[in-house]
Amino acid sequence: MKDPVRIAITGAAGQISYSLAFRIASGDMLGKDQPVILQLLEITPAMEALKGVVMELNDCAFPLVQDIVATDDANVAFKDADFALLVGARPRGPGMERKDLLEANAAIFSVQGKALNDNASRDVKVLVVGNPANTNALIASCNAPDLDPGQFTAMTRLDHNRALTQLAQKTGKHVTDVEGMIIWGNHSATQYPDIAHCTVAGKPAAELVERDWYENTFIPDVQQRGAAIIKARGASSAASAASSAIDHMRDWALGSDGIVSMAIPADGSYGVEPGIIYSYPVKCQGGKYEIVQGLELDDFSKQKMKATEDELRQERAAVEHLLG
Ligand SMILES: NC(=O)C1=CN([C@@H]2O[C@H](COP(=O)(O)OP(=O)(O)OC[C@H]3O[C@@H](n4cnc5c(N)ncnc54)[C@H](O)[C@@H]3O)[C@@H](O)[C@H]2O)C=CC1
Ligand SMILES: O=C([O-])CC(=O)C(=O)O
């Protein structure tokens, strides 16, 4: 039996975690042979609800769960954490501008960045799910000077998975036939879902679908999918977000099968200068991710990539005073 790993989840009494914690506990993230210790963080008023979640986790009698810690103290939740899934965030309230939302979350993620810095495993892998995910990840990273910025990532895998299904359904193929999907930029409506390097069952995707469908249906549908789920369900995507968080962490830890999308610190690749957390095409191996280099970009792609980069730089400017 392997030694257990410590997995911290924030927002643990929320709707994404209600799927996420149980799937991690059952071995979906790190495998059926990897014991886990769950370290669950909530705000004080939600501790009673979190108690109920812990009762249910216990009632599942998961063979892989070695211990469950439930706390409202980030220093306790991140103690020796090998993986940290930062899901908890302040939702947008009535009359709140995007800037207010950025600031409210900036306060949360600066505290959590410091707590990770002071308590987590030196090799911790951090995934930020809570919105605005890219900029929250940047704030957490800037408040964790003893950790490598590359340890802080944000989730665009849900967008990636959404794009896979849209393209597979359009071409009458299966998601497993699609390779080379890329989400560039921000997890927001400016993201650029790019099929220029995609193949479907070995054929270039761009030759299988009309340009008009790609530009005027596929791209906006993927960009607006979160809003469409909210409209249909009356609540934002939860089980699919949890599933994508598991995909992101599993691939990072255990290796990816081809190209996947991860929001990671920009390093100048594809002309995106450092200072923001930008979604790139990556491949993962041996617990590390690497940006896929050398892809050719046409003017359409360059313009879309720049628009989403500009939005991330604006988000950064709004929270610059909190970047430490
Ligand atoms: N990156 C992505 O693809 C996606 C991101 N999201 C985002 O994920 C976040 C969580 O979504 P849900 O679970 O549906 O929300 P939720 O509102 O059901 O749960 C969030 C939980 O976080 C807790 N929380 C708030 N502040 C906290 C703090 N400082 N420390 C610990 N816990 C805290 C709340 O008490 C609540 O229980 C939202 O920001 C949502 O917009 C959702 C879907 C996809
Ligand atoms: O749109 C939202 O508020 C939730 C989200 O991030 C998504 O579903 O992609």
Note the pLDDT tens digit of each residue in 30-51: 999 999 999 999 999 999 999 9
Ligand 1 pocket test: which of 126, 129, 222, 233 has the largest number of ligand atoms within 8 Å of its C-beta? Answer: 129
Which residues contribute to the annotated binding site? 11-17, 92, 98, 105, 112, 129-131, 162
Closest atom of ligand 2 relative to the 240 alpha carbon: 8
List the beta bridge partners of residue 125: 83
Amino acid (one-letter) located at 38: L
CA 127 / ligand 1 centre spacing (Å): 13
Using DSSP's 3-state secondary structure scheme, residue 65 falls into strand
**Residue 65 in this model has a pLDDT that exceeds 90:** yes
Backbone angles phi, psi at 180, to 5 degrees: 85, 20
pLDDT of 94 reads 76
**Residue 93 in this model has a pLDDT that exceeds 80:** no
**Residue 203 in this model has a pLDDT that exceeds 90:** yes
CA gyration radius for the chain? 19
Mean pLDDT, residues 228-244 = 94
Query: What is the chain's mean pLDDT, rounded?
Result: 96
**Residue 55 in this model has a pLDDT that exceeds 90:** yes
pLDDT digits (tens, 9 = 90+) for 96-143: 777 788 888 999 999 999 999 999 999 999 999 999 999 999 999 999
pLDDT of 314 reads 96
With a Cβ cut-off of 6 Å, ligand 1 is lined by 10-11, 13-17, 41-43, 46, 87-91, 108, 129-131, 133, 155, 158, 187, 236-238, 241
pLDDT of 100 reads 81
**Which ipTM was obtained for this model?**
0.99
The half-sphere exposure of 31 on its side-chain side, counting CA atoms within 13 A, is: 11
Which residues contribute to the annotated binding site for substrate? 92, 98, 131, 162
Question: How does strand 182-184 pair with strand 36-41?
Answer: unpaired
Which residues contribute to the annotated binding site for NAD(+)? 11-17, 105, 112, 129-131
Whether 187 is a known active-site residue: answer yes
- Continuous H helices in 60-144: 74-77, 98-119, 133-142
131 and 226 in contact (C-beta within 8 Å)? no
pLDDT of 251 reads 98
Question: How does strand 65-71 pair with strand 83-86?
Answer: unpaired
State if residue 131 touches ligand 2 by the CB under 6 angstroms criterion. Answer: yes
